[in-house]
A = this chain, B = another copy of it.
Amino acid sequence: MNTQTPNQEIDLVMRQSAAVFQQYRRTDAKSRASFLETIAANIEILGDALIQQASAETNLPAPRLTGERARTTMQLRMFAQMLLEGNWVEASIDTAIPDKNPPKPDLRKMLIPLGPVVVFGASNFPFAYSTAGGDTASALAAGCPVVVKAHPAHLQTSVMVADAIAKAAQSTGMPAHVFQHITDGSFDAGKQLVEHPATAAVGFTGSFGGGKALFDYAAARKTPIPVFSEMGSINPVVFLPDTILNNAEAVAKQYAGSITLGMGQFCTNPGLLIAMETEGLDRFVQSLSKEIEAVAPAKMLHTGIYKAYGQKMEAALAQKGVSILSRATAKPADMEPLPTVAMVEANVFLKDLLLHEEVFGPYSLLVKCKNITELQDVWRSLTGQLTTTLMGTEKDFAAHADLLQLAESVAGRIVFNGVPTGVEVCPSMVHGGPFPACTDSRFTAVGINAVKRWVRPVCYQNCPQTLLPDALKDGNPLGIWRLVNNQLTKD
């Protein structure tokens, strides 16, 4: 699995990707939409065989994988729909004013694709954030050829999905090499892909170490390129006093479920619980403990993640002032992690940066704060997060409305009275956030705006109508929303 591809194979793949770019980006919206829809259909045609293969490689149960597959095909169809609607190009027209001094030319602008995109999928989402996941779907929609480096932890699943994409490309008349699949699992292959001159942008979902390394390679290139690495976070949850007083048991149950969902293998897993030592906290802790103790064991994705969980958790638990609140009581078999909730005082947490790091798996740390100031200090001390959550009653929010601005500065998504796990796919979703949640907080990995990572604006000055792209022609032949002389219109 870790055999090394010779340099020239990666070179060939990237040169093929570059060679097909101009042809692919000129395909019309309808053809590209049909391509994406056919990928979705082809994935569905793979049926149970795909689910079984993915389950064998990842230890994820069939229902979870079936849900993830549905999300993946839905995403592909969402981007197809986006292409058919056509508004995503952000067409803008400013007509000429010849008698202005100096004369104002006719200026028109739209988004065009960057070029070949290299995608690194995530081990914890073999479908939705992998071979035909959000990065691939959004890049293909934008008009960028895609090269996927298969995740070695689900290589055969990736091969099956890649085959579904290749067949869709062929049956919908897409040019050869619009999608290519690299099965070389080596670290060096990834580095070569990012450093290749033909690579225009990179999408990555995974660990901080991996995502940051790719970012560094890209920044060090002679021609730096954008890298969107989504690198996970600890997703702090703030529990306010009145909800602890009134809803301790319900909230504890809800969070025990979120912490251990899928054995905690989500980048939105709530790894940090922040609360004040107010009335009801003991009940919350007791309920949470009882729920955690009862969690049934299940295998993690692969040995590397399983071992890392044990090591990172033990390192956290070994820190001075950290105590175990509760652990699952079922004896774990090999590859089964021990769901664990630990506890620490805020003043200890603030000084111990190791406790701020993600422990990927069914682990969470409760930080007990003396007062609201300490709670704010703890929250503010964190690095950038994908999500942060506020659990509170109306009374809580009335008393602590000012906490919102802190939440905004911490994360890309703010959840109220819910759990951060579960990332809805829709235009208003933000899956990103301040560094190190991702490498560029101005973008999102989920929802139609994910396409913005792979496009750039180009302006046409006094361009003859015959040469203009349809999106910018007079008469709006595509019937899309455009900004015309600073007014949004379909006219």
Q: Measuring CB to CB, which residues of chain A are less than 8 angstroms from any residue of chain B?
A: 22, 26, 87, 92-94, 102, 104-105, 107-109, 112, 114, 215-216, 219-220, 223-226, 383-384, 394, 397-398, 401, 404-405, 408-409, 411-418, 422, 424, 426-430, 432, 434-436, 439-442, 444, 449, 452-453, 455-464, 466-467, 481, 483, 486, 488
The quantity of this chain's copies bound in the complex is: 2
Report the minimal beta-carbon distance from A301 to chain B, rounded to whole angstroms: 22
- Are B428 and A442 neighbours in the complex by a CB distance under 8 Å? no
- Are A394 and B442 neighbours in the complex by a CB distance under 8 Å? no
- Are A424 and B457 neighbours in the complex by a CB distance under 8 Å? no
- Are B223 and A416 neighbours in the complex by a CB distance under 8 Å? no
- Are B483 and A488 neighbours in the complex by a CB distance under 8 Å? no
- Are A429 and B464 neighbours in the complex by a CB distance under 8 Å? no
Closest residue on chain B to residue A114 by CB atoms: B441
- Are B105 and A466 neighbours in the complex by a CB distance under 8 Å? no
Closest residue on chain B to residue A220 by CB atoms: B219
* Contacting residues, chain B, for A105 (C-beta < 8 A): 418, 424
Report the minimal beta-carbon distance from A422 to chain B, rounded to whole angstroms: 6
Known: A408-B112, A424-B105, A435-B223. A441 touches B456 (CB 8 A): yes
- Are B26 and A405 neighbours in the complex by a CB distance under 8 Å? yes
* Contacting residues, chain B, for A453 (C-beta < 8 A): 442
* Contacting residues, chain B, for A394 (C-beta < 8 A): 464
* Contacting residues, chain B, for A428 (C-beta < 8 A): 92-94, 107-109, 459, 483
- Are B436 and A442 neighbours in the complex by a CB distance under 8 Å? no
- Are A416 and B464 neighbours in the complex by a CB distance under 8 Å? yes
Identify 17 new A-B residue pairs, CB closer than 8 A, beyond the known A109-B430, A398-B466: A104-B426, A107-B428, A114-B442, A215-B224, A223-B384, A223-B436, A224-B439, A225-B435, A401-B467, A411-B458, A414-B463, A416-B460, A418-B462, A427-B486, A428-B459, A428-B483, A430-B458
- Bound CA span A384–B459, Å: 14
> Interface centre among A225, A409, A435, A456, by most B CB within 10 Å?
A456
* Contacting residues, chain B, for A444 (C-beta < 8 A): 457
- Are B226 and A426 neighbours in the complex by a CB distance under 8 Å? no
- Are B107 and A412 neighbours in the complex by a CB distance under 8 Å? no
- Are B109 and A464 neighbours in the complex by a CB distance under 8 Å? no
- Are A412 and B483 neighbours in the complex by a CB distance under 8 Å? no
Partner of A412, one of B383, B436, B455, B456: B456
- Bound CA span A456–B435, Å: 12
Closest residue on chain B to residue A436 by CB atoms: B223
* Contacting residues, chain B, for A404 (C-beta < 8 A): 467
Report the minimal beta-carbon distance from A197 to chain B, rounded to whole angstroms: 11
- Are B460 and A426 neighbours in the complex by a CB distance under 8 Å? no
- Are A459 and B413 neighbours in the complex by a CB distance under 8 Å? yes
Report the minimal beta-carbon distance from A271 to chain B, rounded to whole angstroms: 18
- Are B488 and A458 neighbours in the complex by a CB distance under 8 Å? no
Report the minimal beta-carbon distance from A439 to chain B, rounded to whole angstroms: 7
Report the minimal beta-carbon distance from A27 to chain B, rounded to whole angstroms: 13
Closest residue on chain B to residue A456 by CB atoms: B441
Report the minimal beta-carbon distance from A418 to chain B, rounded to whole angstroms: 6
- Are A94 and B467 neighbours in the complex by a CB distance under 8 Å? no
- Bound CA span A398–B453, Å: 34
Partner of A424, one of B92, B94, B220, B483: B94
* Contacting residues, chain B, for A398 (C-beta < 8 A): 466
* Contacting residues, chain B, for A226 (C-beta < 8 A): 440, 442
- Are B429 and A456 neighbours in the complex by a CB distance under 8 Å? no
